[in-house]
Each structure stands twice: as structure tokens, then as C-alpha cells.
Amino acid sequence: MMRVLIAGANGKTGARVVAQLKRRGHEPVALLREESQRPRFEMVGVETYVADLEDWVDVGAVHPDAVMFAAGSGSRTGKDKTILVDEIGAIHFIDAAIAAGVDRFVMLGSINADPWSEGHKISHYYRAKGIVDFYLQQTKLDYTIVRPGRLTDEPGAGTVDLAPSLGRGGDIARDDVAHVMAESLEVPNTVRKAFDILSGDRPIRQALEAL
């Protein structure tokens, strides 16, 4: 059992990560932006911690064994917010984990993450994700970077197509992304690995162990 702090816990994917961790017997702590978000988690027995990712988060105050970053500015916000949350906020959260002495870090990335992305409608987002991935990979943290394709709200299948680089785009259910992130904590082979995930036919545990 691990005590895990999840940034972005109130988001569509983050909430699923919290549920997956609790279902597996771990102790999730939901990192929330607003006090008003607490009841959603406390009513199901999940501890909460309120802090703003655009400021410094005192990760050490929670005493986690691992941290996960599943936060995002959202598709309806502007480029400035993407930089503040998806890039600067993520980098500050990495630094906060290091300062707190937490070694295990699971990052929700993007399949098209690229620090030099150009020509896409959301290249600013791909650049932000690419910069954060590179930054995380230069640390000594035991990281796992999960890079999904386009996220859907379809029910999870429990199976995926997963590889360091899939070389294509596609969709994947948020349920399956959350499953992969939670399962990564239990599969040593995922440490210091980054990989793409899309909908597929391979059982998630098997796919992770084959990395």
C-alpha cells in the first residue's frame, strides 16, 4: 500500500486515478485547487489537500510515498493558462516532490509531446508537455511518463496498445489511462520509462510488464 498525492484529482482523468488507487488498496490524497471540491472526495473516504499548482505546493506536508501529476489547464483555456499549469505548474510540482524527498513520480503526458512542436492547432500544449517530460527525465526521480492519445469518456476496456513510441495517433478511454497510471506503481518495469498508450487488445498489466 502506498500513500499517493494526486495533482489534478478533481479533473476527469485525475478523479479516475483516485478511484483506481483506492480500489487497489492504496491511500490516495486528492490535491485540490478549491475548498469547495473537498466534499466530493471526503464523502467516499478520500483525504484531501488544498493548494494551487500555480504556487508552491508543500508536498512534504502530506508525507506521500509517491506523487502523480494528472492536472491540466483544459481545452477551453488560453495558451497562457497552458503554460502556467501544464508547464510551469508541472515543473514546480516536480521540484516540490524532490524537495520533499519523494522518489516515485507518475506523470500524465501526451502522445505528441515535443518541446519543438510546430504546425499543430495545439502545438503550445505539445511544447509544454514536451518541456516537462524532458525536465522530469533529467531528474533522479523514479518517474513514469504515461502519454495517451485523445482522451474519451467511454468505459475502459482494461486493454491497450502500449510502447515507447507507437508512431500513430488515436483514442483511449480515461478509465484505461487511470488504470495504467495506478498499475504503474505496482510494476517495477515502468520506472524511468516513458511510453505512448492508445486503445488496443493487450491486457494492461501484461503490456506494462513487457516494456
State how far the Cα of 187 lies from the Cα of 209, in Å rounded to an integer.
7
Catalytic residue among 125, 126, 135, 143: 125
Write the CB contacts of 93 (distance below 8 Å, at least 6 apart in sequence): 7, 53, 57, 59, 67, 69, 71
**Catalytic-residue membership of 125:** yes
Residue type, 1: M
| Residues 6+ positions from 190 with CB-CB distance below 8 Å | 144, 184, 208, 211
User: Closest Cα to residue 50, out of 63, 37, 60?
Assistant: 37
Do strands 159-163 and 193-199 pair parallel, antiparallel, or not at all (unpaired)? antiparallel
- Residue 28 phi, psi dihedral angles, 5° rounding: -75, 145
**Active-site residue list:** 125
